[in-house]
Amino acid sequence: MLNVENITFGYRPGQRVLDGFSLQIADGGVYGLLGKNGTGKSTLLYLLTGLLRPQRGRVMVDGELSAKRLPQTMQDMFLVPEEYNLPPIPLRQYVGVLKPFYPFFSDELLRTCLDGFDMSPEVNLGGLSLGQKKKVYMCIALAANTRYLFMDEPTNGLDILSKSQFRKVIVGAMNEEKTILVSTHQVHDVEHLLDHVIIIDRNRVLLNQPLVEGDEPVNLEQLFIDTLSAKRF
């Protein structure tokens, strides 16, 4: 269970990104985190992982403060940021460095995810394009087999085929114990993937509910626009 309790955070004095913000995320499923630019979506992911600390309030992960970054908490969460660098070393070497920190790391799941993206386990990370790096890093994140996986704009930089592969890889790696939180503006890339949607704006949670599909697919873009319009004031 993820609990964000009345937090305040800003990067500069007098400029608060989040102020009195609260959110609860139950275990299990794929969550979409939507909001306009500057509403603090990326900041929230860093607060959940303890890489940032709120000035007020607290962020709890399974009853522990995320800011403490306890080993038993860190081994059960993985963050895929929007931008990152990978060292120019073979993938196998990189995985060998990471595995001791993630006791449930699955080599089999890594191979399955790489196959899903048509990527080889023999690649050298230094010779990959931006899109290829994203695919490889997402495979590593899924193979870490953490209960919580946070992804910030995971489909940016992916071509049309890779976006389709992304959805299939995520579905193939899911189980009842995993919770994946995806922050994105590319709603069409994830709308058929999500079990739950969270929409935030102006330090408020405007919507936090399961996505229930009837005969027609959920139009996530229209849901986002309608929610912002209905709760603007």
How far, in Å, are 59, 62, 69, 103, 124 from residue 48 at the CA level? Answer: 6, 11, 10, 20, 31
Residue 216 pLDDT more than 70? Answer: no
pLDDT in tens, 72-116: 999 999 999 998 889 999 999 999 999 999 999 999 999 999 999
Question: Is residue 194 within 8 Å of residue 25, measured between CB atoms?
Answer: no
pLDDT in tens, 19-40: 999 999 999 999 999 999 888 9
Helix axes 107-116, 130-143, angle to 10 degrees: 150
Cβ partners under 8 Å of residue 178, min gap 6 = 28, 146, 147, 148, 149
Q: What average pLDDT does the chain have?
A: 92
Q: Give the residue-averaged pLDDT of 168-173.
A: 93
Query: What does the buried/exposed string (b/e) look like for 99-115 if buried means 16 or more CB atoms within 10 Å of the residue's CB?
Result: beebeebbeebbebbbe
Alpha helices in 122-195 (DSSP H): 130-143, 160-173, 187-190
More confident residue, 150 or 10: 150
Question: Tokens in use for 24?
Answer: 């609860």
Please give the tally of structural domains in the chain. Answer: 1
Cα dihedral 7→13→15→19 (10° resolution): 10
Q: Which pLDDT band holds residue 217 (cuts at 50, 70, 90)?
A: low
pTM of the model: 0.93
Cβ partners under 8 Å of residue 121, min gap 6 = 91, 92, 110, 111, 114
Q: Which pLDDT band holds residue 213 (cuts at 50, 70, 90)?
A: low
Q: Which residue from 175, 174, 154, 173 is spatially nearest to 163, judged by alpha carbons?
A: 154
Q: Which pLDDT band holds residue 166 (cuts at 50, 70, 90)?
A: very high
Residue 60 identity: M
Q: Which CATH number goes with the domain that contains 61?
A: 3.40.50.300
- Domain residue limits at 161: 2-230
Question: Tokens in use for 228?
Answer: 């912002």
